């Protein structure tokens, strides 16, 4: 089943205009490539409230705007070695938006990206020193 497509405010206004002009709900739905039930619910909501905007929903509001999300994506694409905290600091310096590193990782995950996770491995110098010890090569 394809994902649900939300109508933007412009399309909702068009749909109501067409319905008021006498176009049927099925034809409006075909023009906008949505199910007829979407148009019927829109018509009922418009008659009840006089508005076409969606009502406010419950849940935690998003910390970042779409513009800030695009900024996060662009930073991750431009600097592939940037960590989530580096991107967070750039976002805070640029837009004055305070978010956590986990929020940055969540936004990058939504875009199909990953933040670089710095891993501290054993240094090459330690490995070579261990190999250079007398008797290390004679096993």
More confident residue, 39 or 139: 39
Q: What is the pLDDT of residues 33-75, one digit of tens each?
A: 899 999 999 999 999 988 888 777 788 888 999 999 999 999 9
**In terms of domains, do 15 and 44 share one?**
yes
pLDDT at 125: 72
Per-residue model confidence as pLDDT tens digits over 73-103:
999 999 888 999 999 999 999 999 999 999 9
pLDDT for the residue numbered 71: 96
What would the mean pLDDT of 109-124 be, rounded to a whole number? 78
CATH number of the domain bearing residue 14? 1.10.10
pLDDT at 1: 44
Q: Say if 96 falls within a structural domain.
A: yes
The answer to the question of residue 131 being in a domain is: no
Residues 71 and 105 occupy one common structural domain: yes
Look at residue 78 and tell me if it is in a domain. Answer: yes
Phi-psi region of 19 (alpha: psi -120 to 50; beta: other; left: phi over 0): alpha
CA distance 73 to 125: 36
- Token pair listed for 75: 């930073």
User: What angle (nearest 5°) sits at the alpha carbon of residue 61, between those of residues 43 and 34?
Assistant: 30
pTM assigned to the model: 0.49
How many domains does the chain contain in total?
2
Same domain, 14 and 45: yes
**Which residues constitute the domain of residue 42?**
9-49
Residue of 70 and 134 predicted with greater confidence: 70
Please, are residues 97 and 128 in contact by the beta-carbon 8 Å criterion? no
93 domain-assigned: yes
| Any domain includes 137 | no
């Amino acid at each position: 089943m394809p994902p649900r497509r939300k109508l933007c405010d412009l399309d909702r206004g068009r749909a109501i205009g067409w319905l008021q002009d006498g176009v049927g709900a099925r034809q409006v739905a075909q023009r906008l490539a949505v199910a007829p039930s979407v148009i019927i619910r829109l018509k009922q909501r418009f008659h009840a409230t006089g508005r076409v905007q969606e009502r406010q929903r419950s849940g935690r509001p998003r910390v970042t705007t779409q513009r800030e999300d695009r900024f996060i994506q662009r930073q991750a694409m431009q600097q592939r070695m940037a960590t989530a905290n580096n991107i967070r600091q750039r976002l805070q310096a640029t837009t004055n938006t305070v978010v956590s590193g986990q929020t940055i990782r969540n936004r990058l995950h939504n875009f199909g990206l990953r933040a670089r996770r710095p891993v501290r491995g054993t240094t090459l110098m330690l490995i070579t020193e261990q190999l250079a010890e007398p008797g290390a090569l004679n096993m």
